[in-house]
Amino acid sequence: MRRYIVGRLAQLLFVVFGVTIATFSLLHLVPGNPARTLLGAKATAREVIVLTREWGLNKPLPVQYWDYLTRLVHGNLGTSVYYQSPVNSLIAHALPVTLAMLGIGALFGVCFAVPLALLAATREGRITDHVIRAVPLVGLGMPPFWVGLVLLVVFALAIRIFPAGGYGAGFGGHLDSLVLPGLTISAVTTPILVRSMRASLVEALNSEFIAAARAKGLSATRVLFRHALRNTLIPTVSVLAVNLGYLLGGTVVIENVFGLPGIGNLMLTGILNRDFDVVQSVTLMYAVVVVFINLAADLAYASLDPRVVLGR
Amino acid sequence: MRTHVHMKLVSAALAALILTGGLAVGASASRMPGQHLKGHATPVRGGNLVIDIETPQQNFDVNQTSDNESIWTYDQIAQTLYINAPDGKTLKPCLATSYSISANKLRWTFQLRRGVRFSTGMPMTSRDVAFSIDQALNPNSVWAFVDSSIKSVTASGPYAVVIVTKHPWAPLLADLALFANAVVPYNFGGKTRAEFFQHPIGTGPFELSQWVKGQSLTLTRNPYYWVTGQPYLNSVTYVPVSNSSTRMIQLEGGKADVIEGAPFSLLSSIKGAGYELGVFSSTRIDYVTMNELQKPLANVDVRRAISYAVDTAAIMKAVFFGYGTPANSPLMPNVNFYSLDPALITYNLAKAKQELAKSPYPHGGFTIDFIAGSGDPVQTSVSQIVQAELAKLNIQVKIELMDPSEVTQQEQSFHFGMRETYWTMDIVDPDEWVSFGFDGEAGSYSNFTHYNNAQVDGLVTEAEQTFSTSKRAALYAEIDKLVAANAPMVWLGYSPYSYAYSPNVHGFFVYPEGNAHLENVWMSK
């Protein structure tokens, strides 16, 4: 197991290297100069040139890339030219917001999906099953920014039980602020989870080992939870992991609607202002987080299914 | 970019939804400069004001920043010798109390206000003032063009400062009111420049208390502020919220007391009580520049034809939802020496055709690249309207949507035919705009159009060096007339700043240059 984790972490190095090359080249290939963006419309060419030189952006690209890698190896993600601030500290403030939001969203997704899938699978082919399979799809079909705004209007303005966006203050405040964004995320994750869990549950419930369990005289609840559900968790975990990775890239929309100062907002401001170090670092962060989510999913696999042995 | 599209969609589609959610912004009349809100009784001390702003403050380094959020926040922290008055046209003494000028009009002596302290408690003296203006003279500063007339600045005794100009310079007082000339402690209080502007210190009503970049910025009362009793507020917190619908929801939900950039699309549909609507007259002028390095646009008849063909009134109505007014001068009404310009070209398709007939391209038949920021609703709308209107002259407009950062780059390297943009004033003297926008000798190539008219250049210099107000007014009228006739830009129009705020916020007023004097703001219970 340990060897497996070490191996996967070693692969991470290659991923990181690949991502640095890709983002660095993409960013520098498209036109746009951060000095020009910072100085704005009232600046003339002369001032732009001076600042470009001051920031070292006039150096040949391979030299700039090498400087970037050297900094990275030392744990320095560079400096945001937009904010004149170390990228490390910007990310340190923004990343927890996004991760907490995703975590709460995933939790809500699972909390909604498990009972719904159980209900649907045990009533396979009946009206409850059809309703459960159809209704959440509406959530999936609505764009997240729309869902977010509707939730805000309903739960922050009409019935004032949650704050109208923002990140709040203190742990309780943060948690309170993340409920509606979490629900918005779950609108996307729940339908996917329900469908995949239901399908696996139906398959499990019709399989021989369940028939054997029933024949042993086990109670229906025990059969359902202990034997069927446990088996369905494996595909569910991978579906959730894939979707969380996908959602990570889509958080910018949800953060925008809720006014959350997360990594998506940081990334968008970075891209719009050609804040090279910010965009490079956030992309890298995305890659690393996605790799870790997948690793966590694989580890969860092993603990859920004794047949899965990692590292062979 | 997707987000911008989303925001636009949301503003339009969700208006009704937000209304049913209970948001009601009281539609009060648009406020002209100088017309302050009527205060309720006496101001109350205390309160923590939360302002939702559109984009985060980015950088306070006065040599680099051109970001309005940073400038307007910096205005609360640091002050200048003279400041703009609420009418946007006149000046008031601030850290200076008076000045005298030598007979040859080159040497200005300023008497400083006594008893002024920085927010650290250190008294402000002439040494601080001389240092502050001197650091702003850096030729690589983005604002160097405003201070270009200043030759030297020296302290003369503890409470007098002498400024010597290179030539007689009428706009000097207005130039000194630029935020970049605000007074900071001598030698940045011993810090490096970079360190200092991470946490700037000044004599203003507020001091910087906490700044989590991109997330929030909090100012607290400067305990040493020199105006007795002010400011009233204990603190001001700026929270960047880029989505305009979310800002409206935050105001309604009590998360924000003031919101910047209340969407014009919603203002007219929202009638009723509950919230104050702040539509403040600004110095914004929108226009379409034409690159005179490109052949058809180098011809004045072609440019005039294009100007005649663009229905500016329709554009202002479409883009600013009835809150904009079509331009009637290359200057904006809230700047000194503005006057209605009879030579300004206004929409007339028949005349457009006549003008084009006089040009080497009597039947059109050429293509112009119109570059626009892909997420910018104003630029994209204007480009599409201009495209439709120029088609009537058989001029084909090819719209190239690109990232906003790229638009500026293409503009400044002259890889474009036309583009839409706007200007807002930072000082009360028209010289800032006129020298940047129309003076071909200035480094800005007449606002990146390469418009060159030696007569205009001469008049701009003359206006800078003339002290008689009536003579200057005549000179600017002459400049306006020439520029209007040469049509280097299609002048679209003027638009206000739009804010909405809670009814318990009093004294909130935005100056035409865009800053609000928050020392006058107070909150009732």
CA B39 to chain centre: 27
Distance from CA of B122 to the nearest CA of A (A): 27
pLDDT, tens digit, 9 for 90 and up, residues B388-446:
999 999 999 999 998 877 888 888 889 999 999 999 999 999 999 999 999 988 778 89
Helix ranges restricted to H, A30-60 = 34-39, 45-54
Q: Does the pLDDT value for residue B8 go beyond 70?
A: no
Looking at the DSSP bridge assignments, the partners of residue B117 are: B123
Q: How far is Cα B175 from Cα B183, in angstroms, rounded to an integer? A: 14
**Helix or strand run (H / E) with residue B112:** strand B107-112
Alpha-carbon separation of residue B439 from B66, B199, B455 (angstroms): 21, 37, 10
Q: Does the pLDDT value for residue B11 go beyond 50?
A: no
Say which of B3, B142, B442 has its CB closest to residue A253. B3
For chain A, give percent helix, strand, coil, nearest 5. Answer: 80, 0, 20
Cβ distance B21 to A153 less than 8 Å, yes or no, reads yes
What's the pLDDT score for residue A222?
83
The DSSP secondary-structure symbol of B272 reads S
Q: B-chain residues within 8 Å CB-CB of A158?
A: 21-22
Q: What string of H, E and C letters represents the secondary structure of B36-90? A: CCCCCCCCCCCCEEEEEECCCCCCCCCCCCCCHHHHHHHHHHCCCCEEECCCCCC
Q: B-chain residues within 8 Å CB-CB of A93?
A: 212-215
CA triple A6-A8-A9, angle to 5 deg: 65
Window 71-110 of A, Cβ < 8 Å to B: 80, 82-85, 89-90, 93-94
What's the pLDDT score for residue A214?
84
Say which of B214, B408, B412 has its CB closest to residue A261. B214
Q: Does the pLDDT value for residue B152 go beyond 80?
A: yes
Say which of B55, B243, B409 has its CB closest to residue A259. B243
In contact, B265 and B15? CB cutoff 8 Å: yes
B141 touches chain A (CB under 8 A): yes
A273 touches chain B (CB under 8 A): yes
Q: B-chain residues within 8 Å CB-CB of A32?
A: 403, 405-406, 409
CA triple B516-B496-B305, angle to 5 deg: 140
Q: A-chain residues within 8 Å CB-CB of B421?
A: 41
Cβ distance B423 to A274 less than 8 Å, yes or no, reads no
Q: How far is Cα B410 from Cα B403, in angstroms, rounded to an integer? A: 11
B75 touches chain A (CB under 8 A): no
DSSP per residue, A89-144: HHHHHHHHHHHHHHHHHHHHHHHHHHHHHHHHHHTTTSHHHHHHHHHHHHHHHS-H
Distance from CA of B306 to the nearest CA of A (A): 24
Distance from CA of A276 to the nearest CA of B (A): 13
- Other CB atoms within a 10 A radius of the CB of residue A56 amount to 10
Q: B-chain residues within 8 Å CB-CB of A84?
A: 58-59, 61, 194, 197-198
Q: How far is Cα B134 from Cα A47, in angstroms, rounded to an integer? A: 18
Cβ distance B405 to A38 less than 8 Å, yes or no, reads no
Cβ distance B408 to A41 less than 8 Å, yes or no, reads yes
Say which of A160, A259, A272 has its CB closest to residue B250. A259
Cβ distance B423 to A41 less than 8 Å, yes or no, reads yes
Alpha-carbon separation of residue A190 from A145, A155, A177, A187 (angstroms): 17, 20, 20, 6
Q: Give B441: exposed, middle or buried? Use CB within 10 Å, 0-12, 13-18, 19+.
A: middle
Question: Which residues lie closer than 8 Å to A85 by C-beta, 6 or more apart?
Answer: A79, B198, B213
Closest Cα partner for B213 from B224, B228, B197?
A: B197
Sign, CA torsion A52/A53/A58/A64: negative
Q: B-chain residues within 8 Å CB-CB of A159?
A: none
Q: How far is Cα B295 from Cα B302, in angstroms, rounded to an integer? A: 10
Question: Which residues lie closer than 8 Å to B30 by C-beta, 6 or more apart?
Answer: B279, B280, B281, B323, B496
- The residue-averaged pLDDT of B437-466 equals 92
Looking at the DSSP bridge assignments, the partners of residue B210 are: B218
Q: Does the pLDDT value for residue B270 go beyond 60?
A: no
Distance from CA of B112 to the nearest CA of A (A): 30
Say which of B20, B245, B444 has its CB closest to residue A44. B444
- The residue-averaged pLDDT of B202-223 equals 95
Closest Cα partner for B236 from B520, B24, B499, B525?
A: B520
Q: B-chain residues within 8 Å CB-CB of A157?
A: 18, 21-23, 249, 252-253
Q: pLDDT: is A303 or B49 the higher one?
A: B49
Say which of B18, B239, B402 has its CB closest to residue A153. B18
Assigned token pair, A123: 């009533």
Q: How far is Cα B300 from Cα B498, in angstroms, rounded to an integer? A: 36
What's the pLDDT score for residue B4?
40
Closest chain B residue to A252, measured at CA: B3
B240 touches chain A (CB under 8 A): yes
In contact, B247 and B259? CB cutoff 8 Å: yes
Q: For chain A, 312 residues long, give each residue's pLDDT as a single digit of tens.
A: 788 888 888 888 888 889 889 988 888 887 777 887 778 777 777 788 888 888 888 888 899 899 888 988 898 888 888 888 899 999 999 999 999 999 999 899 989 998 999 888 888 889 988 888 888 788 778 888 899 999 999 999 888 889 888 888 888 989 999 999 999 999 888 888 888 888 888 888 888 888 888 888 888 888 888 788 887 887 888 888 888 877 887 788 899 999 999 998 898 888 888 888 899 999 888 888 888 888 888 888 788 777 777 665
Alpha-carbon separation of residue B170 from A294, B93, B137 (angstroms): 67, 17, 18
Closest chain B residue to A42, measured at CA: B142
For chain B, the residue count is: 525
CA B472 to chain centre: 22
Q: Pick from A26, A33, A44, A93 the residue to mutate for testing the B interface (most B CBs within 10 Å).
A: A44
- The residue-averaged pLDDT of B304-322 equals 93
pLDDT, tens digit, 9 for 90 and up, residues A72-115:
889 888 888 888 889 999 999 999 999 999 999 989 998 999 89
A20-52 residues labelled b (16+ CB within 10 A) or e (exposed): beebbeebeeebbbbbbbbbebbbbeebbebbb
Count of A-B CB contacts under 8 Å: 180
A49 touches chain B (CB under 8 A): no
B322 touches chain A (CB under 8 A): no
- Count how many Cα atoms sit within 13 Å of the Cα of residue A212 in the half-sphere of its side chain: 5
CA B157 to chain centre: 36
Window 255-294 of B, Cβ < 8 Å to A: 255
Strand B235-240, strand B48-53: pairing: parallel
Residue indicated by tokens 């972490």: A9
| Cis omega (within 30 of 0) for bond into B231 | yes
**Which residue type is seen at B434?**
V
| Terminal CA-CA length for chain A | 9
Distance from CA of A246 to the nearest CA of B (A): 16
**Average pLDDT value over all residues in chain B:** 89
Looking at the DSSP bridge assignments, the partners of residue B152 are: B164
Closest chain B residue to A83, measured at CA: B58
Q: How far is Cα B214 from Cα A167, in angstroms, rounded to an integer? A: 13
Closest Cα partner for B491 from B440, B429, B422, B441?
A: B422
**Which residue type is seen at A270?**
G
Looking at the DSSP bridge assignments, the partners of residue B287 are: B421, B491
A252 touches chain B (CB under 8 A): yes
Q: Pick from B48, B213, B446, B513 the residue to mutate for testing the A interface (most A CBs within 10 Å).
A: B213
Window 8-67 of B, Cβ < 8 Å to A: 10, 14, 17-18, 20-23, 52, 55-56, 58-59, 61, 64-67
Q: How confident is the model at residue B30 (pLDDT cuts 50, 70, 90)?
A: very low
In contact, B454 and B322? CB cutoff 8 Å: no
pLDDT, tens digit, 9 for 90 and up, residues B353-376:
999 999 999 999 999 999 999 878
What's the pLDDT score for residue A75?
87
Helix ranges restricted to H, B413-468 = 431-438, 445-448, 454-465
Q: pLDDT: is B142 or B160 the higher one?
A: B160
Residue indicated by tokens 């600045």: B153
Q: How far is Cα B193 from Cα B62, in angstroms, rounded to an integer? A: 10
Alpha-carbon separation of residue B462 from A292, B148, B343, B486 (angstroms): 67, 15, 21, 20
Distance from CA of B242 to the nearest CA of A (A): 7
Closest Cα partner for A262 from A157, A142, A182?
A: A182
Q: A-chain residues within 8 Å CB-CB of B142?
A: 39-40, 42-43, 47
What's the pLDDT score for residue B51?
97
**What is the value of pTM for the model shown?**
0.87
Cβ distance B241 to A51 less than 8 Å, yes or no, reads no
A162 touches chain B (CB under 8 A): no
In contact, A171 and A165? CB cutoff 8 Å: no
Say which of B66, B198, B252 has its CB closest to residue A157. B252
- B499, B501, B507, B510: CA torsion to nearest 10: -10
What's the pLDDT score for residue A84?
84
Cβ distance A256 to B246 less than 8 Å, yes or no, reads yes
A159 touches chain B (CB under 8 A): no
Q: Pick from B148, B212, B241, B252 the residue to mutate for testing the A interface (most A CBs within 10 Å).
A: B241
Q: Give B206: exposed, middle or buried? Use CB within 10 Å, 0-12, 13-18, 19+.
A: buried
What does residue B321 show for φ and ψ, rounded to 5 degrees?
50, 45
